Copies of this chain bind each other. A is one copy, B any other.
Amino acid sequence: MAADKERFVNQIADINGDYTKWYTDVCLKSELCDYGPVKGTMVFRPYGYAVWELIQAQADKRFKKHGVKNAYFPMLIPQSFLMREAEHVEGFAPEVATVTHVGETELAEKLVLRPTSETVIGNMYAKWIESYRDLPLKLNQWANVVRWEKTTRPFLRTSEFLWQEGHTAFATAEEADGDAREMLGVYEDIANNVLALPVLCGRKSEKEKFAGAVATYGMEAMMKDGKSLQAGTTHYLGDNFAKAFDIKFLDKDGTHKYVYQASWGISTRLIGAIIMAHGDERGLCLPPEVAPIQVVIVPIAAAKNPHVVEKARALADTLRERDLRVELDERDLSPGFKFNHWELRGVPLRIEVGPRDLERGMVMTCRRDTGDKLELPIDSCEMTVSAYLEDIADNMLARAKAFTESHIVAVKDMAELSAALDGGNFADAYWCGDRACEDKIKQEYAATSRVFHSDQKGATTHKCVCCGKKSKHRIYFARAY
């Protein structure tokens, strides 16, 4: 391959220039994904799908520890189901895709493609739940959902996306609300310890809550442009869907009562969060836990030194025996091209096996997160690689956390709010709690309330950032994906 073409293949837009183009370039050129033929759809290419599979495995393990079982519910939902919960239909109707025909035959009842499954699952829960003995019921499904989008942004806004949706039912309101809060903790654990992603967790405002919920809790992650990405939400549904679908149980006291429910979901959006929280001018930077390739081995000057390839292959085998995900790049391309190729794809650690280093029994390593190089003895480097990957994960989390903390600005009025947002920050603000102020901030600065601050002490002793009246809450405002 000519040097010019090599450069072109790995070239991405400047992250400090056109951030939007940088994001799209990273998505497409790292071969995470591609656009589908229908506007709004995307294809998960093997590299991107492998990231999702690794996220799934980590999440699924945690859900099962919490007593959740997997199930699968139909994708096609009677349109009438959506209508039963007033807020729910209002929230979802405009973006719902409707099936009207099979072959040439028109269906008697229109069906919608699930935008989320509270309704169809509620219908089944009403059938399955009879007595208090059937509670709690905690099910999850891994599924595709459809919510029509006018613009396509890979992983962030697509008409079809992949996610998990947990749906739980309890005898009491406290348990259901507790489940929503507890699962937010599970999501935070996944964000921090799997994705190296710091998140701000808390309840959302009435305006920003899920259509049909009593309360929505969310985790928000800061991207490198200072915008927020909603990385996961959990909802306390009260008895809203129980009443809409008549989900009752016979309690110990001999009376029939409505159940209380929660639901919670994370999606392939998380891949977008990884890209934008960790990526840099060289492309993707994957957290080791979800990197399909954790270590890439590049033989140097291999054509003239057959023993280099032998040593590289042996090293790859040794690392694979330790359950590391290893790629050995034996392609007939220049080392420089390969370095760029794997850096663009965000492989956490590169090991160069070259003839000169080998003479001294050494290999050169280069970590993706910092670019730091370190020489290691080839015969024992398998002992240090796992620890090295952990260190990379720790550093990525610490670095993203420092970035987030340094981009949260306390603001007192609209001028400060505007300046904070324009400077690529989250605004840490006091708010009166009125929807009108949220609407005004959205209209004037294209920002929304994200989650309540975890520290609400003294939240009622300030002035609202917007109207100046007495504040009720401390809350983050940010522009968001």
Closest chain B residue, CB of each to CB of A139: B46
Find A44's partner among B72, B93, B99 (CB 8 Å cutoff): B72
Contact, CB under 8 Å: A103 / B95: yes
Over the window 15-47 of chain A, the binary record of Cβ atoms lying under 8 Å from chain B Cβ atoms (1 yes, 0 no) is 000000000000000000010111001111110
Closest chain B residue, CB of each to CB of A103: B94
A160 to B127, CA, bound (A): 21
Q: Does A293 contact B (CB under 8 A)?
A: no
A44 to B49, CA, bound (A): 24
Q: Smallest CB–CB gap between A165 and chain B, Å? A: 14
Contact, CB under 8 Å: B98 / A160: no
Find A124's partner among B34, B52, B162 (CB 8 Å cutoff): B34
Select the stretch in A74-82, A197-205, A360-368, A460-468 that faces chain B.
Answer: A74-82
Q: Give chain B residues whose Cβ lies under 8 Å from the Cβ of A109.
A: 38
Contact, CB under 8 Å: A45 / B71: yes
Over the window 96-125 of chain A, the binary record of Cβ atoms lying under 8 Å from chain B Cβ atoms (1 yes, 0 no) is 111111111000010101000000100110
Closest chain B residue, CB of each to CB of A41: B74
Residue picked from A38, A72, A103, A148, most chain B C-beta under 10 Å:
A72
Q: Does A73 contact B (CB under 8 A)?
A: yes
A95 to B104, CA, bound (A): 9
Q: Give chain B residues whose Cβ lies under 8 Å from the Cβ of A74.
A: 36-38, 41-43, 160
Contact, CB under 8 Å: A102 / B111: no
Per assembly, the copies of the chain total 2
Residue picked from A34, A70, A97, A109, most chain B C-beta under 10 Å:
A97
Contact, CB under 8 Å: B70 / A127: no
Q: Does A251 contact B (CB under 8 A)?
A: no
Q: Does A11 contact B (CB under 8 A)?
A: no
Contact, CB under 8 Å: A160 / B97: no
A139 to B31, CA, bound (A): 14
Q: Does A144 contact B (CB under 8 A)?
A: yes
Q: Smallest CB–CB gap between A21 and chain B, Å? A: 20
A34 to B162, CA, bound (A): 24
Known contacts A38-B78, A45-B71: A99-B102 contact under CB 8 Å: no
Contact, CB under 8 Å: A49 / B70: yes
Contact, CB under 8 Å: A100 / B100: yes
A residues 413-448 touching B (CB-CB < 8 Å): none
Closest chain B residue, CB of each to CB of A44: B72
Find A70's partner among B53, B101, B139 (CB 8 Å cutoff): B53
Over the window 62-75 of chain A, the binary record of Cβ atoms lying under 8 Å from chain B Cβ atoms (1 yes, 0 no) is 00000001111111
16 contacts between A and B (CB under 8 A): A36-B124, A38-B109, A41-B76, A44-B73, A49-B69, A49-B70, A50-B69, A74-B160, A76-B146, A93-B103, A95-B102, A96-B102, A96-B103, A98-B102, A100-B100, A143-B144
